[in-house]
A and B are shown apart, each in its own frame.
Chain A
Amino acid sequence: NAGVTQTPKFQVLKTGQSMTLQCAQDMNHNSMYWYRQDPGMGLRLIYYSASEGTTDKGEVPNGYNVSRLNKREFSLRLESAAPSQTSVYFCASESQGDYGYTFGSGTRLTVV
């Protein structure tokens, strides 16, 4: 089915470990986004990529890096995980001018 695929769905990390969250979309969308969702905080934008080859910081970029590998894939890396990064992470994509995102089903990350 067409859409946004995120892996893994669940992950537990120890403080200081690193990991990469993967995101791929098969809708030929230009723009891709990473959000985190925390209770009572709503959605906060971490990084986004308006088009292949470009990335920009969002509201809460500290502690994260991203790579727009190609038009389909946009990965989020935690170099040294901290308990404050415990959250649910969502990837989304959009075709510019089409209004409205398509979201992945999320990655639930716990840092202990």
Chain B
Amino acid sequence: GDSVTQMEGPVTLSEEAFLTINCTYTATGYPSLFWYVQYPGEGLQLLLKATKADDKGSNKGFEATYRKETTSFHLEKGSVQVSDSAVYFCALSDQGRSGGSYIPTFGRGTSLIVHP
């Protein structure tokens, strides 16, 4: 079945450092890929998405490129801020398998802690 593997956290960085959170996936079809962010005490929010190979999703300074050849969707940001401290979830939705409901498969989440 489909699966998503994220690097384990926590990832601890100083403000203005470069961020990479690795995400790889396995899927039988042609999935869409997502990154969600969860701030403390809140639900998940969609951060960015990419729906086909070589697409780049971007939002709030975060970027991720859909790499079909390496089955990866790594999240990057050039200069993190304290306010980026949160848990980040990689997810995929295999449209062919789940039909109209597009049920995603989530990774286990990576905690990011940014120090001033």
Give the contacts of A72-112 with B (CB-CB under 8 A).
Answer: 90, 92, 94, 96-97, 99-106
Contact B93 A99 (CB under 8 A): yes
CB within 8 Å for A99 and B45 given contacts A45-B103, A50-B101, A94-B102: no
Contact B46 A101 (CB under 8 A): yes
- Chain A: residues with Cβ within 8 Å of the partner, total of 25
CB within 8 Å for A101 and B108 given contacts A90-B43, A90-B44: no
CB within 8 Å for A101 and B106 given contacts A90-B43, A106-B43: no
Contact B43 A96 (CB under 8 A): no
Q: How far is the CB of B114 from chain A (nearest CB, A)?
A: 21
Contact B43 A105 (CB under 8 A): yes
Cα A55 to Cα B39 in complex, Å, equals 29
Contact A48 B101 (CB under 8 A): yes
Stretch at the interface among A13-21, A36-44, A60-68: A36-44
Contacts of B89 in A (CB 8 A): 42-43
Give the contacts of B41-92 with A (CB-CB under 8 A).
Answer: 41-46, 49, 51, 89
Give the contacts of B1-29 with A (CB-CB under 8 A).
Answer: none
A-B pairs with lowest CB-CB distance, top 9? A103-B43, A42-B108, A100-B46, A50-B101, A43-B106, A103-B44, A105-B43, A96-B100, A31-B101
Interface set of B (CB-CB < 8 Å, partner A): 32, 34, 36, 41-46, 49, 51, 89, 93, 99-104, 106-109
